[in-house]
Copies of this chain bind each other. A is one copy, B any other.
């Protein structure tokens, strides 16, 4: 394995000083160098297969041109679109995105965060959505690294925040169900320590009360199919709860609910209607196609990235919160309330 080509090698071949090579190869400074020299340097670089060393550069400039993105679970299909939105904006500015998966696990989150800090990321985008990771956020801020929060229900600190309009989403979902004749609705919410859980649950309570329908909220212990399945299990065990419609904390939970209901011989939507949240990819291909509150996931990612870039450039963090509009995608999982 031959030693890698350095700027010195290029300088030697081009017969200039390495400082000149550096200037020539950086877009920002390349106009400071003679056109003739520039050509010679570039040729030499190409000829040698020179690849700049980002670590050396970062050490010198104290900017890694790297952004850390922390998400709880790559397997949840809402994250790929968000990441795509983030990358779309950031790559165009020359940043590389470091994705860290935490599996919704506290210590994994902490060590992932630590590892990103060591790599001197220029900014963080946190999509953990947890209410209890304030420490991580504060630590980032203390380290002078800008942070943007994604998919939060509501702002806690003074950090920039971007997400969908949860309240409006709940209103749309409940209105849809009421219109279909449902008079008893259960909200199978996510875990209480997720910030979206709280805002959706509060909105549900308020909206359902205002609509004058019987309602109740139960909590899944994760935002997964399995947790949804289990939540339905619990609900079925209580024989005092007999809703004709369910509003799930997200689409995965909705899927889990439907699976369990089906196992019980209950058809969706003939016997029970189910509304999901997020309108994740493939929502329309499920069985039945999922009625869901559509979140503009890609845009959420893109806006978060823009907010972060602003924070990096200006060096200051305003606690701006950006709430993007949502819509209700009506599909096969909701229907008229049974007679």
Contacts and interface: CB of A to CB of B under 8 A. Distances in A.
A61 to B, nearest CB: 10
Interface string A104-134: 0000000000110111100000000000000
A150 to B, nearest CB: 16
A80 B71 CA distance: 13
A51 B101 contact: no
Nearest to A115: B96
B285 A75 contact: no
Contacts of A83: 74, 101
Contacts of A74: 80, 83-84
A98 B98 contact: yes
B119 A54 contact: yes
A87 B101 contact: yes
Interface string A39-64: 00000000001011111101100001
A144 B2 contact: yes
Contact of A144 (B1, B58, B255, B289): B1
A81 interface: yes
Q: Count the copies.
A: 2
A325 interface: no
A2 B83 CA distance: 30
A338 interface: no
A319 interface: no
Contacts of A288: 287
Contact of A75 (B80, B99, B142, B144): B80
A281 interface: yes
A191 interface: no
Contacts of A77: 77, 282
A210 interface: no
A51 B68 CA distance: 16
A107 to B, nearest CB: 12
Contacts of A315: 1
Nearest to A53: B120
Contacts of A75: 80-81, 84, 281
Interface in A143-160: 143-144
A21 B295 CA distance: 49
Contact of A285 (B96, B98, B255, B281): B255
Interface in A76-105: 77, 80-81, 83-84, 87, 96-99, 101
6 contacts: A1-B315, A49-B142, A53-B120, A75-B80, A75-B281, A259-B285
Interface of A: 1-2, 4, 49, 51-56, 58-59, 64, 74-75, 77, 80-81, 83-84, 87, 96-99, 101, 114-115, 117-120, 142-144, 225, 255, 259, 281-282, 285-289, 315
Given A54-B119, A55-B56, 11 more contacts: A1-B315, A49-B142, A51-B143, A56-B59, A74-B84, A75-B81, A75-B84, A96-B115, A99-B99, A286-B287, A287-B288
